[in-house]
Amino acid sequence: MSGHKRTTITLSQEEYRKLHEAEMRLRFMNERVPNIIEETRNEISEQLQTDLEDMQFRQAALLESLDQVNLDISNMEQNTSQVLLDQQHALHQGIAEVVSDYHVETETALASLESQVQSQLQDLIVNHHHEWSWMANEWQRQANGQQQKNQLAREWLQAAAILDQFIIENYDHTHFTPGAVERYESRLLQAHDNLAHNLAEAAVTAAQEAYNHFSELRIELEKRQAEYQLLMQRVNLEARKLHEQFRANLNVPAIDLDGNPLPFNITVDFWANGELKRLEQEFEGVMTELVDSAQPAPADSLRELVDEYFPCVGDKIAEFVFNARMKVINAQLRMNIAEIVVQALSGQGYALDTSYFLTGDEREPYQANLTNYEGSQIVIKVDPIPDLEGGNELHLYTSDAQDKTSHELKQRALEIRRALQSSGLDVGTITANRSPADPAIFQTGSNLMPGKSTKRDKNRKDTIQKYKEQEELRLEK
């Protein structure tokens, strides 16, 4: 008969579900109530104030420059500037409220603010175009003679040139709208050329179009800049939250088989085989590249970070924490399985010699060595199954298999199976290896680490003595 039998032992699906739910509750209770830290809120508040002051300075500088142009044009741009300032102030106030409220889901709230910005500024562009179109048509209708049309062209050209210079000096137009300034400047040059050749009608049309392009580009750049600033705030917020999540999950409370927190912590990265640290290094690399880049990151890249990459990192951290807790439970489970089998075999005269984790590492298989009063040995080895949560493989190596009948070995296996099942474990089919057990497996000291073995000589002798007494009573009867 084979001296090596094995079977798969797992937590029941109900037990696994219960543990998962308990771990989720524990994680929720342990989350920090503030969803961003105080330092981050202060930084954002300071940045908001700086952004608002910069915008106020820009608009004041533009209006001062437009004092030189036609009053109607100046008034139109002044109205536009006031709307931009009002919207920017409302936006920054909204962000400030979001980051100061601990109970608001910041990412959702900021995404909603971004959508509002896009909608409001798009409405502003539409309204501005209607106002410009009415003004252009009205002025052209009033300009009857050649001289009036030339003067009208000069006024539009002057306003367009001021906006052109303002955009170049105040916005990162090559980042937000690459090539737009160059296209509109070519239209501006065409208007100058038409005016130089006394083509008044064509000069007015080209100058009006150039002005409108630059004026709407200014609004578009304010829109892109506001969206980008808001996107950067979202990146900053979510990155800080992930930094905090990494820090908070270096060590977490272990949980027992009932899902209750235990009074000791586990090191997540140890049980995750270094995966948590590697993920943190990858995350830090992404953030360093973002900060140190000579060019601003494209908005699409930032959006990918907040919409896809950051949530993925957060999910992985949670997964590593859950798996670490499950691996700790599984390590305890391997010990429990071995102990249950030891108890089942004690009724057959076997007593425990030693028990230990191989190489002293609790992530490794657990082994127990038993001997009966005749000197026969049994080695219990419980291996973790890497791809099966809560799964272990039980190996039973027997030195006296050739001396036992098929019925005796079957009864031994059934007793072990019943003992495991009565403990709430799912036990697979017990299979026998055709090849005999390797004699080296019975060398009990070969895999021990100093200080990691559990000596139970007295218990073993007591069990053997008790078994001998039971055998003597049975023979007397």
What is the reported pTM? 0.72
Measured CA to CA in angstroms, residue 363 lies from 19, 313, 326 at distances of 19, 25, 11
- Whether residues 345 and 318 fall in one domain: no
- Whether residues 267 and 400 fall in one domain: no
How far is C-alpha 67 from the geometric centre of its chain's CA atoms?
52
Query: Residue 293: its pLDDT value, please?
Result: 83
Tell me which of 305, 325, 345 is where a domain ends: 325
Express each pLDDT in 458-475 by its tens digit.
544 554 455 456 556 655
Residue 25 forms part of a structural domain: no
- Whether residues 75 and 222 fall in one domain: yes
- Whether residues 65 and 206 fall in one domain: yes
Averaged pLDDT, 304-311: 92
Is residue 386 packed enough to be buried (19+ CB in 10 Å), middle (13-18) or exposed (0-12)? exposed
Query: Residue 33: its pLDDT value, please?
Result: 39
Tell me which of 270, 302, 325 is where a domain ends: 325
Domain count, the chain: 3
- Whether residues 186 and 269 fall in one domain: no
Averaged pLDDT, 192-206: 87
- Whether residues 304 and 341 fall in one domain: no
Q: Mean pLDDT lowest for which of 51-60, 155-164, 357-366, 463-472?
A: 463-472
Residue 215 has pLDDT above 50, yes or no: yes
Classify each residue of 408-447 as buried b or exposed e, where b means 16 or more C-beta atoms within 10 Å of its C-beta: ebeebbeebbebbeeeebbbeebeeeeeebeeebbebeeb
Express each pLDDT in 259-305 by its tens digit.
778 888 999 999 999 999 999 999 999 999 998 887 888 989 999 99
Contact in structure between 157 and 207 (CB atoms under 8 Å) = yes
Query: Residue 258: its pLDDT value, please?
Result: 73
- Whether residues 410 and 354 fall in one domain: yes
Query: Residue 296: its pLDDT value, please?
Result: 87
- Whether residues 334 and 311 fall in one domain: no
Residue 338 forms part of a structural domain: yes
CATH number for the domain spanning 445: value is 3.30.160.110
Express each pLDDT in 217-227 by its tens digit.
988 898 888 88
Query: Residue 452: its pLDDT value, please?
Result: 40
Residue 335 forms part of a structural domain: yes
Residue 31 forms part of a structural domain: no
Contact in structure between 61 and 151 (CB atoms under 8 Å) = no
Query: Residue 438: its pLDDT value, please?
Result: 64
CA distance 153 to 195: 7
Residue 27 forms part of a structural domain: no
DSSP 8-state secondary structure symbol assigned to residue 448: P
55 Cβ neighbours under 8 A, 6+ residues apart: 84, 85, 88, 222
Backbone angles phi, psi at 432, to 5 degrees: -110, 135
Domain that holds residue 281: 245-325
Query: Residue 142: its pLDDT value, please?
Result: 61
Residue 186 has pLDDT above 60, yes or no: yes
Residue 112 forms part of a structural domain: yes
